[in-house]
């Protein structure tokens, strides 16, 4: 029975490693710098009023072991751009200035995703867990982090009018630069 348990733990660890190895991660010290050709591979949504969409992902997994009263949790985090879901309407880019402004706005979404990845990793790794609360606490924390940054992504788009309000975009750029300097 103990051998069966160890076998399933090994299978779970292998599947988790394979799952996360299929994602481009932002575990580097800096986030991915977008460019139109590498990161916007999907067909544009012609029904959308927007000129571009940057799809990002944030995921985590963990494995836990309990020996006596000792709990050990091993976390894995992944996040980044999903080029196969990100798109740009190239016909909406009139010149280099518009291209730079739009790409800058989309880069802001990457920075917010990077902040989510780093804060999620920090908070989840540094919480005090007990054997009785760790599953619930991990889920609650992950949900809270996801909601906070999802709301921030929406606020970013709303306040900048998807990058077309250059004054609001400049304020967000300043905020995001300051936040990124923390990493």
pLDDT at 183: 84
Given a contact cutoff of 8 angstroms between Cβ atoms, the answer to whether 23 and 78 are in contact is yes
pLDDT at 30: 81
Q: For residue 23, how far is the Cα from the chain centroid?
A: 11
pLDDT tens digits, one per residue of 50-69: 999 999 999 999 999 999 99
pLDDT tens digits, one per residue of 122-160: 999 999 999 999 999 999 999 999 999 999 999 999 999
Range of the domain at 103: 2-180
Residues in contact with 62: Cβ distance below 8 Å, sequence separation at least 6, in sequence order: 73, 74, 75, 76, 124, 138
Beta bridge partners of 64: 73
Query: By percentage, how much of the chain surpasses pLDDT 90?
Result: 83
Number of domains in the chain: 1
Strands (E), the chain: 52-53, 56-67, 70-81, 87-88
């Amino acid at each position: 029975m103990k051998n069966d348990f160890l076998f399933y733990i090994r299978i779970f660890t292998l599947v988790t490693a394979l799952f996360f190895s299929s994602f481009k991660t932002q575990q580097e010290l800096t986030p991915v710098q977008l460019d139109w050709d590498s990161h916007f591979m999907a067909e544009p949504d012609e029904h959308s009023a927007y000129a571009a969409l940057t799809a990002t992902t944030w995921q985590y997994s963990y494995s836990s072991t309990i020996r006596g009263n000792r709990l050990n949790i091993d976390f894995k985090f992944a996040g980044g751009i999903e080029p196969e879901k990100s798109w740009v309407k190239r016909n909406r880019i009139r010149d280099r200035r518009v291209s730079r402004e739009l790409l800058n706005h989309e880069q802001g979404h990457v920075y917010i995703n990077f902040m989510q990845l780093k804060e999620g990793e920090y908070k989840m790794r540094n919480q005090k867990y007990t054997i009785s609360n760790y599953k619930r606490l991990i889920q609650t924390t992950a949900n809270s982090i996801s909601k906070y940054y999802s709301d921030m992504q929406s606020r970013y788009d709303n306040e900048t009018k998807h990058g077309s309000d250059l004054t609001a975009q400049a304020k967000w750029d300043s905020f995001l630069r300051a936040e990124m300097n923390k990493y």
